[in-house]
Structure 1
Amino acid sequence: MMKITCDFVDIEEEIQSSIRSLQLDSSENIEVEAVATPEVVPEEVEKPVEMEEEQKVDTVNAAPEEDLHEKEDDIKRHLNVVFIGHVDAGKSTIGGQILFLSGQVDDRTIQKYEKEAKDKSRESWYMAYIMDTNEEERAKGKTVEVGRAHFETESTRFTILDAPGHKSYVPNMISGASQADIGVLVISARKGEFETGYERGGQTREHVLLAKTLGVSKLLVVVNKMDDPTVGWSKERYGEIESKMTPFLKQSGYNVKKDVQFLPLSGLFGVNMKTRLGKSVCPWWDGPCLFDALDAIQIPLRDPNGLFRMPIMDRYKDMGTVVMGKIESGSAREGDSLLVMPNKAHVKVLAIHCDENKVRRAAPGENVRIKLSGIEEEDILSGFVLSSIVQPVTAVFEFDAQLQILELLENAIFTPGYKAMLHIHSIVEECEIVKLLHKIDPKTKKPLKKKVLFVKNGAIVVCRVQVNNLICIEKFSDFPQLGRFTLRTEGKTVAVGKVIALSPAGGAA
């Protein structure tokens, strides 16, 4: 085969001339390729290539992966939900069922957990295995650490925080509840189980008080195990639990009409969770299912442009220093310069992850992992606060607080010199009451002039609190989540309070 290359000028004559001059045999194939010389049409050849390259660049700039996640995050609101309640009420089972119903866990995994639970003669625990992942929790049938998972409805992204119910692990429960926006109080309807949790010493009461103190303003009270043979979806049993819980919730500071909602369900079988309860199962219930109730809850919006505050829950090393926590105020962006307090370390934000997605920006209320430069992992402790450089968080050894005494240990007197463990945001620190300033009249809420030497259960008192190590806190009126706390002694919550004045340690920064 022979190629003949020519210009577009007099193409036919050139071809014929070439054929005659070469005296080609008629059987030989000839391919004619017309190639445009650069002088003739340079722009027509180059232009489409240039346009294609420009289009590629535009596509990349228009929607990088991070921006897509950011746009998606802006569409759906995000809420942190903590599951609280007495041990064995069914918190982990409900959490596992939510993940199964929302498609986070497949049937094969469920079958595996079902077999594992059956082998341990604990058939009804298999749903809890989704949330309780370590062997200690599965062997004991008790949640120890705060389980964390994610699911979505059409309008909301939820982070589930599965708090332990056993009294030995209340500090872990406090850690989970301090990160939450709304609470799901799980109560067992089974005969005897509700009473055990509700009576003095049961965790139902303590969890409600702690949740309110830690800023969980909205509460869903789910009456679980309604399918139990001792209950049988009984309206009377449900009504009895509601009538006993309502006065206690009011006493704990909840507005029952606005902030509390009751609903019945079965966590083990997922009844009244994703779809509404059928009349054939429970003819007297005409309220929402759990997913609808969670979707309908409204909480006050946080200010994304406020001063940045993020208490650090944990940290680890991963090609740099990564800190974990919930953004309580303000927003974080890649490239931001921030302070780690109280050691005043200047750091730069290298990357931000929400759930499993890398994002360019994170808004208040998000549980995030932030990679930092400018600080080593060993220079950060749980309880430190990632803060804006302008008006950073205050670091103190001493502060004034308004305390409500709940129930002191037997023979204990609340007086100057009283020592307890202070739980405030992600801080756990030993503290001492150094001065009682004045009592507050519970009816008028005004201070009493009479000098106070000690107080008893139920009293409201303003006192001065001292800690051994520098801690980062704020006044309750400025940043509620960094200004509310609990005092615990020997595994028991003895008082709840709020910070009303600070004594900065040599200035904030």
Structure 2
Amino acid sequence: MDIAQQSLTTPHRQITILDAPGHKDFIPNMISGASQADCALLVVDASTGEFEAGFERGGQTREHLLLVRSLGVSQVVVAVNKLDMVQWEQSRYDEILGQMQPFLLQSGFQQSKTSFVPVGAMSGVNLVNRDAPEAAALSRWYSGPTLVDLLDVLEPPSRNITAPLRFPISNVFKGQSSAYGVQGRVCGGIVQVGERLRILPGDESALVKYIDHEEENVEWAADGSNVTLYLTGVDPVHLNVGSVLCPPSDLVPLVTVFTARILVFDVSLPITAGASVELFHQAHDVPASISKLLATLDRANGTIIRKNPRVLTKGASAEVQITLRSSVYSGPAARPRPIPLETFASNKEMGRILIRREGETIAAGIVLEILS
């Protein structure tokens, strides 16, 4: 399932909306969308029983919030939708806020960067205004901002345009004539029309024929832009979701073994050395193992509490070694395919990882050192 993309212009912002699927079967797609985001708009269902189903342990609302925060998103707007299904009761809105606000703080979202807004999406209530007759019941107790008002005051993050270009591919499709389109987010630096880029993994390169940004042709795009690059001079077999485009003079390291500092989520089973996991990095989803538990750390200051722990339990901060595994079993000598990866110190977006096991997100972290 693809990530739907749409543009929205507010009085002070030009916003690109990435609509990621919410169902648990499409978490990899959601991760791909969240890795391209600056801010999060979380829509929760206020109808009876639906909010509880998403917010209870193991629910998708909790997991989505943990995922976006782990991927570096610090601003979130929570739209409490379908309040018309509960007769616009203020008590229901307050009940949902009462449960979500502590969890957001616990997950690392600052209160000053978190907003809530009641809406009725199907009838358009409080999306742009509250002028419609259907909004009368809400207006009796709510006089705050609309959804668009909150989107209009989101803080744009700083952009690192002096860094080497990094462009992880999130989608590939056939363009016009001989060009092939690749969608993604510029994660550092600037990309320009006419530039030749290396495709990693692999030895191929391609020429940027033109760049599409919000349905307009542009000559260049900078860090943070969600764009489509149309490439020529390359066989499309070499263009894959998860590959990274970069300058031939400044290649991204190809990695199979690295160390990371991770935070363990609310896991049902502890993490042990040798545990088989799924590693998510940008649009990559590859098999890996937690090959070594190097140390548990103090969450406040990062100092070592214990070296070589036997297990990692929920809430633990730890330094671990992660080793990629071969995706196709062909004996003990099968070599895993490396992925383009950088340390968090070199590039924050290229240095974030998520770890899942048996359909559950168990940890998130940052790459510390590349070993192989």
- Aligned with residue 294 of structure 2, among 437, 443, 453: 437
Report the Cα distance in structure 2 between the residues aligned to 1:175 and 1:324, rounded to whole angstroms: 11
Measured after TM superposition, the shift of residue 270 of structure 1 is 0.7
Report the Cα distance in structure 2 between the residues aligned to 1:306 and 1:413, rounded to whole angstroms: 38
Aligned residue in 2 for 1:269: 123
What are the within-5 Å matches in structure 2 for residues 24-43 of structure 1?
Answer: none
Q: Deviations over 1:284-334 (max 9, x none)?
A: 222211111101101322123331111011223431333221112111111
Report the Cα distance in structure 1 between the residues aligned to 2:108 and 2:84, rounded to whole angstroms: 31
Aligned residue in 1 for 2:366: 498
Aligned residue in 1 for 2:92: 237
SS in 2 for 1:448: strand
Q: Deviations over 1:33-87 (max 9, x none)?
A: xxxxxxxxxxxxxxxxxxxxxxxxxxxxxxxxxxxxxxxxxxxxxxxxxxxxxxx
Q: CA RMSD in A?
A: 1.9
Q: TM-score, normalised by structure 1?
A: 0.67
- Aligned with residue 28 of structure 2, among 154, 166, 171: 171
Aligned residue in 1 for 2:260: 401
Measured after TM superposition, the shift of residue 177 of structure 1 is 1.2
Q: Is the 8 A contact 1:233 1:282 kept in 2?
A: no
Which letter does structure 1 place at the counterpart of 2:3? V
What are the within-5 Å matches in structure 2 for residues 40-55 of structure 1?
Answer: none
Aligned residue in 1 for 2:331: none
Aligned residue in 1 for 2:329: none
What are the within-5 Å matches in structure 2 for residues 333-344 of structure 1?
Answer: 333-344=192-203
- Gapped regions of structure 2 (runs ≥ 5): 325-335
Measured after TM superposition, the shift of residue 220 of structure 1 is 0.1
What are the within-5 Å matches in structure 2 for residues 144-159 of structure 1?
Answer: 144-159=1-16
Q: Is the 8 A contact 1:307 1:330 kept in 2?
A: yes
Measured after TM superposition, the shift of residue 438 of structure 1 is 0.7
Change (3 A) 1:243 1:472: same
Report the Cα distance in structure 2 between the residues aligned to 1:312 and 1:281, rounded to whole angstroms: 43
Measured after TM superposition, the shift of residue 491 of structure 1 is 1.2
Change (3 A) 1:320 1:444: closer
Q: Is the 8 A contact 2:55 2:61 kept in 1?
A: yes
Measured after TM superposition, the shift of residue 413 of structure 1 is 4.2
Larger radius of gyration: 1
Aligned residue in 2 for 1:247: 102
- Aligned with residue 156 of structure 2, among 272, 281, 299: 299
**Percent sequence identity over aligned pairs:** 36
Aligned residue in 2 for 1:73: none
Aligned residue in 2 for 1:311: 168
SS in 2 for 1:478: coil
Report the Cα distance in structure 2 between the residues aligned to 1:487 and 1:178, rounded to whole angstroms: 14
Higher relative contact order (CA 8 A, sep 6+): 2
Aligned residue in 2 for 1:122: none
Q: Does 1:161 align with 2:18?
A: yes
What are the within-5 Å matches in structure 2 for residues 54-453 of structure 1?
Answer: 144-228=1-85, 231-256=86-111, 258-276=112-130, 281-318=138-175, 319-409=178-268, 412-453=269-310
Q: Is the 8 A contact 2:42 2:79 kept in 1?
A: yes
Measured after TM superposition, the shift of residue 160 of structure 1 is 1.9
Return the structure number with greater strand share.
2
Change (3 A) 1:147 1:365: same
Report the Cα distance in structure 2 between the residues aligned to 1:156 and 1:451, rounded to whole angstroms: 49
Report the Cα distance in structure 2 between the residues aligned to 1:281 and 1:253, rounded to whole angstroms: 30
Measured after TM superposition, the shift of residue 280 of structure 1 is 6.1
Change (3 A) 1:174 1:386: same
Report the Cα distance in structure 2 between the residues aligned to 1:280 and 1:370, rounded to whole angstroms: 47
Aligned residue in 2 for 1:479: 347
Q: Is the 8 A contact 1:420 1:488 kept in 2?
A: yes
Measured after TM superposition, the shift of residue 162 of structure 1 is 1.8
Which letter does structure 2 place at the counterpart of 1:301? S
Change (3 A) 1:502 1:419: same
Report the Cα distance in structure 1 between the residues aligned to 2:283 and 2:307, rounded to whole angstroms: 36
Aligned length: 356
- Aligned with residue 357 of structure 2, among 456, 464, 489: 489
Q: Deviations over 1:89-148 (max 9, x none)?
A: xxxxxxxxxxxxxxxxxxxxxxxxxxxxxxxxxxxxxxxxxxxxxxxxxxxxxxx54322
Measured after TM superposition, the shift of residue 276 of structure 1 is 4.4
Report the Cα distance in structure 2 between the residues aligned to 1:393 and 1:358, rounded to whole angstroms: 27
Q: Deviations over 1:151-208 (max 9, x none)?
A: 3223322222222222111111111111111111111222222111111121111110
Report the Cα distance in structure 1 between the residues aligned to 2:212 and 2:288, rounded to whole angstroms: 35
Which letter does structure 2 place at the counterpart of 1:354? H
Report the Cα distance in structure 2 between the residues aligned to 1:462 and 1:205, rounded to whole angstroms: 24
Q: Deviations over 1:366-422 (max 9, x none)?
A: 22221223421101221111112333222111111011121335xx44222111111
Q: Is the 8 A contact 1:276 1:288 kept in 2?
A: no
Q: Is the 8 A contact 2:271 2:312 kept in 1?
A: yes
Which letter does structure 1 place at the counterpart of 2:118? P
Q: Does 1:469 align with 2:337?
A: yes
Which letter does structure 1 place at the counterpart of 2:187? E
Change (3 A) 1:314 1:279: closer
Q: Deviations over 1:190-248 (max 9, x none)?
A: 222211111112111111001111222210011111212xx322222211111111110
Report the Cα distance in structure 2 between the residues aligned to 1:473 and 1:184, rounded to whole angstroms: 28
Q: TM-score, normalised by structure 2?
A: 0.90
Report the Cα distance in structure 1 between the residues aligned to 2:193 and 2:3, rounded to whole angstroms: 28
